Structure 1
């Protein structure tokens, strides 16, 4: 080895380092971490499978027509339709308030979801900045005119006037980009549909909902299953996890495990 040229010695040293690190990081470390995970967290390490899916991955509880199955608690909305291969957020932010021919704005999506959840649960789905029919309440204001930009003609605008201007419906194909964007809050004072019922999470696969959203659904589920409301709420409590480490996040309800518990009676 000492008689070899220096450049060969350097390459041999590098190859030995690669071999040692490959064994340590590519074999020993994965086996060690897998062994510890299996010993301490076997259920979670294997995907928390329940026989009906993973308790760690959200899923929909809808019929073939896409409508919610009324005897089940419903999950949080998903930007990827609860498809693990399409996980991800919509990347739409709070300033996304104007519909386009290609897609509905985030505001209109939230308004439509809130209206649908309100109808399903028998409560008001009204929200600030939403029209009564579940569309983003947004005006485009120009010199001398105002347009309800998310309500295409012949729809009747959600307000008749704005700052002395008569509000028009949006003419299809008209470019409204030059107008001033004015979201209209309306007079909604109490929102009955919680935020996680109308917004998708970052992954699109959230397995949990808030306790507030679960409580909102409890009367419907109890009625559809012929169960006492107290029994359904007790099951919600049994499947509610607390804050991580006692202070991170909020208590949450695992929808799949709760629905399985209901099916087991």
Structure 2
């Protein structure tokens, strides 16, 4: 039996616009809430409704501009989750999160039916790790709800021999064609180079350094490097120890013009970005 879902487009658009409004004026922070048992960093910590709501409120209080909720780990080697199992993790939480978080909510999914259900309870942004290219229903769902979208670059397998930046540009061309054909406005799109997805370590570094080239496409750029394994070489190899590498990479990307940052550690990033913005705004004296 087909579900009948309706969207409160005004509410969705309100959250969407709150998310995009600061872009270009200051760094925008997307806080992460994983309601998964197997995410690489915080799997199982926020699987309960109470823990997830508490974490979302904390992220908002720490300075997050939006809370991104995911119910399927996308780490290397993860076990895919069927849509019904994904929604079983999300359904007890999302409506309350939209009502109580105090900031817009985005859904981290590549499945059309999950996106539709989330948008029907007031989620404003769809964060698709397959850039609208995995499920043909997801772009129409976003367009119908008048939501925003983060289009992330991804690959089925890593190939260290390819030019990863050229691959990203070709991928984004395909994704943007899908978005426009579905009726998604360019003004409601952000791009994500997909650090840690289908790339070797060197290709991840190339993707980060490509920020200026990717910005030439004319869309806000989201960087998602938080606690990822590209920082394993740091002296402190613990997950929490990757904060130093995450901050360094995000500040580098901010200096190159990236505008949105998906992170676990919101308070630390808000403080670092405030210093970054003050230093950039300080008048130079000869």
* Same fold, judged at TM 0.5 (above): no
Which TM class, normalised by the smaller chain length?
Answer: under 0.3
Structure showing greater Rg: 1
TM-score, normalization by structure 2: 0.24
In the superposition, the TM-score normalised over structure 1's length comes to: 0.26
